[in-house]
Amino acid sequence: MRSRGYRSRAAEQGAAALERVGLTIVTAILVAGVIVTLSSAQLPTVVGSAVCQVLDRDSCPPDDSTATPLERATWGEYVALGDSYASGEGAGDYDPDTDYDHGDEWDRDNWGDDERNRCHRSGNAYAEVIQRGGTGITFHGGSTFAACSGATQGDLTDSNASNDHEDPQLDELDDDVSLVTLSIGGNDLGFGTVVADCIINGESGIPILDSCRDKHADRIEERLETLHGELVDTYDEIQERAPDARVVIVGYPELFGQNPRDSLGNLLFAEDQAWMNEQAGELNDMLRSAAREAGVEFIDPTAAFRGHGIGSDDPWINDLNWGGPGLSLVDPGSFHPNAQGHDALADLVEEQIRQPAFP
Model confidence over 134-188: pLDDT tens digits?
778 999 999 999 999 999 999 999 999 999 999 999 999 999 999 999 999 999 9
Q: Is the dihedral of CA 193, 213, 252, 179 positive or negative?
A: negative
Is residue 115 a contact partner of residue 181, using CB atoms and an 8 Å limit?
Answer: no
Q: Does domain 67-354 have CATH number 3.90.1150.10?
A: no
Which residue ranges of the chain lie beneath pLDDT 70? 3-58, 104-113, 327, 358-359
Q: Which of 350, 347, 230, 238 is nearest to 289 (CA)?
A: 230
pTM: 0.84
Predicted confidence at residue 108, as pLDDT, reads 58
User: Would you list the domain boundaries of the chain?
Assistant: 1-56, 67-354
C-alpha span between 180 and 77 (Å, rounded): 9
Helices (H), 126-172: 126-131, 154-157
Model confidence over 47-74: pLDDT tens digits?
455 556 555 566 799 987 789 999 999 9
Predicted confidence at residue 50, as pLDDT, reads 55
